[in-house]
Amino acid sequence: MKTQQQSMVEAVRRWLRQYDELTDTRIDVDHLGAGIGSFSIFADGMPETLSTFMLERQRRRTFFLCRECPYGDDAEQNTDNLSWYETFSHWVYEQDLCRNYPVLGDGFDCFGVADTTAGSVVTVTENGKAEYRIALTIDYTERMLKS
């Protein structure tokens, strides 16, 4: 059942679509398997509380952006896979510098985004595919009294 308040994962997916290579790309949630080039976002557990003051707290939430890529003994192909994540990582850094953050909704204000891991292989299959992923942290303030 969907509530009126958007979920954080929806906000992050919308923000990711600002990246040129993801603008018109389907980004699934908690499911990767649509084939080579498919993307999915996975939330990693509960948000970490960084600090609490009065009726607000600062929190950090981690998400993984995963991508299915061709994989094998072709060094050029595997380098291309990692290059995609290097370019994406630079974009995330630029967004943080420009303060272009996900819009999280009423009562939530994002104040930081970062990639906390480089793109790396998570799973390799026998049919020449691999799942690569990068971790993204979203730092935000959550107010108990919504405006």
Q: Is residue 140 part of a domain?
A: no
Q: Is residue 73 part of a domain?
A: yes
Q: Is residue 101 part of a domain?
A: yes
Q: Is the model's pLDDT at 147 over the cut of 80?
A: no
Query: For residues 49 and 65, what is the distance between their CA atoms, to the nearest angstrom?
Result: 22
* Domain containing residue 119: CATH number: 3.30.2000
Q: Is residue 136 part of a domain?
A: no
Q: Is the model's pLDDT at 6 over the cut of 80?
A: no
Is the pTM for the entire model greater than 0.85?
yes
Q: Three-class SS string for the chain?
A: CCCCCCCHHHHHHHHHCCCHHHCCCCEEECCCCCCCCCEEEEECCCCEEEEEECCEEEEEEEEEEEEEEECCCCHHHHHHHHHHHHHHHHHHHHHHHHCCCCCCCCCEEEEEEEECCCCEEEEECCCCEEEEEEEEEEEEEEECCCC
Q: How many residues are recorded in the chain?
A: 147
Q: Which domain holds residue 51?
A: 8-131
Q: Is residue 97 part of a domain?
A: yes
Q: What percent of the chain has pLDDT over 90?
A: 65
- Reported as a single tens digit per residue, the pLDDT across 20-73 is 999 999 999 999 877 888 999 999 988 888 888 888 999 999 999 999 999 988
Number of domains in the chain: 1
Q: Is residue 55 part of a domain?
A: yes
